Amino acid sequence: MFSLKNIVLYTLLFSNVVAAQQLTTEYKILADRWTESIIGTPEQEYDSFQQNMISNTQRDAMKYLNSLDMTDMRHSLWDDLPLDYSQGGKTIGPNIRSSMIRLLTMAKAYRFPGELQGNKILISSVINSLDYLFKEHYRVGALEYGNWWEWEIGIPKTVNDILTLIYSELTEAQLDNYTSACRYFSPLPDRNGVSEGASASTNPVNREATGGNRTDMVQVVLVRGILSERDDEIKNALNALPQVLESVTTDDGFYNDGSFIQHGDIPYTGTYGNVLLEGVGKVMNLMANSTWPADDPRLLRVYEILYNSFFPFIYSGQMLDMQNGRGIARGNRQNHVEGHAVLASMIRFLDGASESDNKKLSGFIKGQILSDHVKNFLEGQQDFLISNKAKKLIEDTTLEPVALSPKAYYFPDMDRFVYHGSDYVFSLALHSARVGNFECMNDENRKGWFTGDGATYIYNTDLTQYTDYWPLINPYHIAGTTVDMTTTLDECTNKNKVASRVGKNKQFKMQRVGGAAYRTEAAIGADFYNHDDSVSALKSWFVLNDKVVAIGSDIKSVDNINVGTIVDSRKLNQNGKNRIEINGVVDSIHDKKVYENVNSVFIEGNVEGANMGYWFPKTEHLTMEHLNVSANWSDIGTTRKSVSGHTLSSFISHNDHQSGYQYVILNGISGQGLREYSLNPDIIVIRADNKAHVVGDVSGEYILANLWGNGEVSVGSLKTSSPVSIVLKMHLNTLEVSLADPTRVLSQVEFITNEGFNVMSDPDGRVSINGKTMVVNIDALRGSTYHFSLQRDNGSSLENERGED
């Protein structure tokens, strides 16, 4: 073991280390440029956050140095990271990677200013440790025990970082030895599972690398090629990159509607989507103005992807939880961390942007950084280049921060809906025959059973509502879902491969999932079946007048099991004493309480502006349960961190007499405001049955509908039997129509009108009218919304035509 008092002794011992040859100029420039994110530029002036990070790095490096085993008989570098091949060797990969990460910390300390900068004992210890790992464990011919990712991506990426920091201290033979081992496990930038060693891994199939895995592999091969001065590897890596930004229609990647899928059917804009985004940005910045610039025209599509695929899912620095997949079970990578990681990736694209793209992107990034009042972007930023550029954005007085305008977004290729409203965001996570429910893998997200079953979220001024949320709330009580209230499910403990929900991921009975969204209005609906087909329901969510309307009908269960719909599931304040009003009367809930004939519920927010109001158009029997919870992130994943807090869930129990529900969500409303709204609502439920769910505003301007395909239904002036979603806006003699086919199997929709119309606007030429029959061609729209407008040919008023049957 090492200690400070041994420095002189070990300096003498390792004074004969032979330095390596220098990289030739062009490769050296690129290798050194790669380190600028890791340690900063040579002229770097470190701010207080960076100085603190450097101090922590030096402290940790000294700790690792003092505890490092350098004996000839060692079986690992550190006692707490055993390289043990027993029990299938599943800990070998993670522990090699963790060992490499510690060596990276030591390599940083060797380069950072401070007492360890240039320390010969430190660098000799790093090199000796690398020699050991590459001789005994991570070597040509070794098997990939356990998770393939550690061996093919995690370890070689870390090795690249180490080598760019210390290549000038290595011999040519050492550098070749290290890069040859990485080349054995990850020879190609566009393939995984290639080496002979992959036969022992969790995924032994030689397969195409896609999405975030592809950009990781590109970086592995590219930086290795720079260090090895291999022109062929550099070119192969760059040639494999642009494909990740091309539009796809199945499986992994970005879709034209803005969706991003990874692992075949899981929405993953956060985590994997950002891994991809970060990788593209790193490569483009690294290779700029070099002999090998990353200038394929296909890479310019990244700006469209930023606006359509990432902007809608970030709110006040948070990446919406429903886009983080199994990552919601990581206590050290919660929504603010993931959101900041995406913002950091966006910053990488500023230098190469056009003037208009730079302005749009800069304003959004600045707005997100400044609106996150609970996590300082600069304090948590590990990348020095990103930190420096972010500071310039923040300090630029000519740059105005920008927030997204109110708008409804639906992403049919991943069954996700987002509404950016006035000072809040509503989001909805569904699944279907096309999109998977949830992912459990590597012992993460073990209780994510219902997170794709119509889960709803409200993000508002309470920026910590979803911090430490997942281990605290009841995993059977996910807001928005309709569930078997008596079931107890086994934890998903699949550690080795992409897992699925209790035997299946896609629900093939759920064909009619989706909806229409246009401007600030939306009609989203699902013909829902749960994981084992024991519960079914027709479920709708409408956005109208900056409010969310939730409707359920025809709720059925096998064997008369107890079924309920979760209206809300939230964290309360620190002492759990939020003001709660039922029908305008203050009440306290200490455990579980059942309320009859509930017309409204008010829940005081944990911060100003975060109050929640619920209005029930038809009075409901509502159960509210207040719990004081102590839990640990290890209950749902691998992070070990204890948490505690008060939670409140509210749910409606269903039976033969109450097989539906209706409620309106009002964000930020006061108790008095809710009482007044209950007496004078601006939204009405027109119908909620097995033919259609239809709502409108009292002014008669809007009608929103989800049709279930069980017979003809009148929606305003239009009648159809097709299972479509419709948003109608009526004004005098003009009718604006937003139409979507959630089943994605229709080629056209036929409407019967109660009088004559002329086409006023039809961007794609899809609408034809013959008398009182209108046909809309929706072929190849893939569930997306088509908007067109009509004009009544006699010029009479369209107002107040609700079309009730």
- Kindly list the catalytic residues: 263, 272, 326
- The 10 Å CB-count burial string (b at 16+, else e) for 671-693 is beebbebbeebebebbbbbebbb
Please, are residues 566 and 650 in contact by the beta-carbon 8 Å criterion? yes
In the numeric block, the tokens 């010969």 are attached to 120
220, two tokens? 């592995």
- Give the pair of three-digit tokens for residue 40: 């900063």
Q: What's the rounded Cα separation, in Å, for the pair 762 and 361?
A: 32
DSSP-assigned beta bridge partners for residue 109:
none
3-state SS string for 478-513: CCCCEEECCCCCCCCCCCCCCCCECCECCCCCCCCE
The type of residue at 178 is: Y
Q: How far apart are CA 344 and CA 350, in angstroms?
A: 11
> Residue 219's closest CA among 98, 143, 337, 227?
227
* Distance (Å, whole) CA 523 – CA 512: 13
Burial of 630 per CB tally in 10 Å (0-12, 13-18, 19+): exposed
Residue 189 has, within 13 A of its CA and on its CB side, a CA count of 24
- The whole-angstrom separation of Cα 472 and Cα 291 is 53
DSSP assignment string, 712-780:
-EEETTEEE-S--EEEEEEETTEEEEEEE-TTS--SEEEEEESS-EEEEE-TTS-EEEETTEEEEE-TT
If you ran DSSP here, which 8-state letter would residue 24 be given?
P
The kind and range of the H/E element at 181 are helix 172-185
Gyration radius (Cα) of the chain, Å: 29
